[in-house]
Structure 1
Amino acid sequence: MCKSWCYWGKVHGVECRFWARETSTDRWDRIMLQVWDDSQWLRNFHVHKGTFMELCDLLSPALKRQNTRMRAALTVEKRVAIALWKLATPDSYRSVGNQFGVGKSTVGAAVIQVTNAIKDLLISTVVTLGNVQVIVDGFAAMGFPNCGGAMDGTHLPILSPEHQATEYINCKGYFSMLLQALVDHKGCFTNINVGWPGKVHDARVFRNSGLFQKLEEGTCFLDQKITVGDVEIPIIILGDPAYPLMPWLMKPYKGSLDSSQDLFNYRLSKCRMVVECAFGCVKAHWRSLLTWIDLSKVNIPIAIAACCALHNICESKGETFMVGWEVEANRLAAD
């Protein structure tokens, strides 16, 4: 059975104690932290300094370490900075370590600790449904009534796993792990399911998800129905042809279509574009998702989900999305 992120309560991240070298703190302490302006922060960490500092405050309860008589622990801010730099760029662990004067193992430990902290402290409040009526109104304005979200799956490249490697080879022939997500009308993630091997079909992932169970039980959305013709329609979600047609899941018509079916497909496709755009945005913003994630099978889903949470935080803060990020992401995806 695949370990998706909903099982993380049973997973313990690697706990590493690591320390700053006294001679290696100048670039971070005196230049990045004190001198860099917002444009430099955005280029290198993909967030403005204000958002970065808020994130450090939120994660501090899980990341704060005590000094010893021998050495000073790396600060929360430095650890978060190392992790964000690694998640935001295709740079190697060694290259990131050189930026901060630490070893590559310290970079790896920072990524694991920070992403685990995001999972423990932020996922449940950041990746959530929110105000359903606002979402329904948003999709209605886009042309589809009584819609609570758009769903899709995407493959994220990983290195060949040590065990059951063939299960991770997807239909395009590379090793991957699946991210399946529901997004709102603004492209924020409201539900994620991470961890299934790339070989598994989207429909199977969905049927084994907590989201599917809630939709079946009628506990995901408000009991808000509209009447179309003589049929009562509950709040529904939108999917592509890979998903099963359900009373609460609409997908496109296939085959020879009349004008009303064409219009239905057009409106559904228009609304479904928000999930495709969300995947493109999170990959461009956090480009490590495109560069063969080389964490363990246990930690990869945590890092992916952390990037989804960071995406939502950036959207809520109105963070700038630079055009060059998408260009670089397209280049990386083509490699």
Structure 2
Amino acid sequence: MFIDSDSDSDLEDAILLYSAVLAESIKKQKKKRQNKSIYLKKRQKSGRFARDFQDLIKDPIRFYENFHMDVITFQRILSMVTPYLKPKKMTRPTDGISPNQKLAAVLEYFACGSLQRHIASVYRISKQHFGKIIDEVSIALISALNEYIPPYDANVMINAANDFNYQWNFPNCVGSIDGKHIAIKCPPKAGSMFFNYKGYHSIVLLAVADAKYKFSYIDVGAYGSEGDAGVFSSSKLGKAMANESLPFPPDAKIHDKRLPFFFVGDDAFPLGKRLIKPYVPKRNQMLEPDKTIFNYRMVLPC
């Protein structure tokens, strides 16, 4: 058998060169991880929560600017979600992220709309870990605050209608419905599903608010390419209204006529017995005075 010594030498040189490059790459990655680890390890002394939170508590205006709520509300929410955020086992008690740190970081992320990378950096939490914390806190908020958005029943709707009538002089209205596009980074291989008519990628938040601007129904996650009417029709609320399974109260008497209870929305939503929207004037024509007054009354609570 003939052996080419030059080929063997070239192969050995290539292996040595590759090994040297790989070793240098591993060394750089290890050094980068060490530097990153040093930065994160200073969380309890130099992170935003340790450095600024107590000062923010003493400054109500700045606290509200950063978290979109006052200190009392933050503390109340913290007491409600803490049982859901406590670790099952404390493996690193000196470096653990407390429930109040998790809540503060996530609420600031929600309120300010900053990049995850930015919030994670100032709180000295790794980006990957912060992503998990967002999920954890979101689930905790849903679990702890679920009772604040009770399911619709006749009594809930009657109370909502009374508030609309008292606040806006608009009887039998149980809620104002609208959709909102929330910008996202387009997921891989999503095509045009999330691309909306405004020219960016989004998911749709469909929500109902009461007379006091509090949410009474939320549906989030529909594709941005869908219009408000499509999102509404495919939502649980839309389906319940379509098959008449939503527990509306009996029609109420208004000016000697019995009229149904209903939601109000803009022109993007489908008109129906339980969903009304403003009158639209015909081309080059003005609305009649009574319809103009109706639209004015309807726009106020919307």
CA contact (8 A) 1:235 1:248 kept: yes
Verify: 1:175 aligned to 2:201, yes or no. Answer: yes
TM-score, normalising length: structure 2: 0.74
Q: 166-175 or 247-256, which moves further after superposition?
A: 247-256
Q: Runs of 5+ in structure 2 lacking a partner?
A: 1-38
RMSD across aligned positions (CA): 2.5
Q: Which has the higher contact order (CA 8 A, sep 6+)?
A: 1
Is 1:240 the equivalent of 2:258?
Answer: no
Equivalent position of 1:214 in the other structure: 240
Task: Return the alpha-carbon distance in structure 2 between the equivalents of residues 29 and 89 of structure 1.
Answer: 16
Answer yes or no: is the 8 Å Cα contact 2:184–2:201 preserved in 1.
Answer: yes
Aligned residue for 1:57, secondary structure, equals helix
1:116-127 correspondence to structure 2 within 5 Å: 116-122=139-145, 124-127=146-149
Q: In the TM superposition, what are the counterparts of 1:10-89 in structure 2 within 5 Å?
A: 23-27=42-46, 30-36=50-56, 37-39=58-60, 40-65=62-87, 66-68=89-91, 72-89=95-112
Q: Secondary structure at the match of 1:81?
A: helix
Task: State the number of aligned residues.
Answer: 251
5+ residue gaps, structure 1: 1-19, 273-335
- 1:242 and 1:121 mapped to 2: Cα distance? 34
* Partner residue in 2 for 1:133: 158
Cα deviation, residue 157, structure 1: 1.0
Task: Provide, for residues 168-215 of structure 1, a one-character-per-residue CA deviation record: whole Å limited to 9, x for no partner.
Answer: 111122111111111101111101111111111211221222212333
1:265 aligns with 2:288: no
1:93 alignment partner AA: Q
Pair member with larger Rg:
2
* Cα distance in 1, alignment partners of residues 169 and 135 from structure 2: 42
Which one-letter code corresponds to 1:32 in the other structure?
D
Match of 1:309 in 2: none
Q: Matched residues in 1 for 2:224 and 2:169: separation?
A: 33
Distance across 2 between alignment mates of 1:198 and 1:190: 22
Q: Return the offset for 1:61.
A: 2.2
Match of 2:226 in 1: 200
Look up the match of 1:102.
Answer: 125
8 Å CA contact retained: 2:44, 2:95: no
Within the candidate set 187, 202, 211, 2:213 is matched to: 187
Query: TM-score scaled by structure 1?
Result: 0.67
Amino acid at match of 2:259: I
1:69/1:137 Cα in 2 relative to 1: closer, same or farther (>3 Å)?
closer
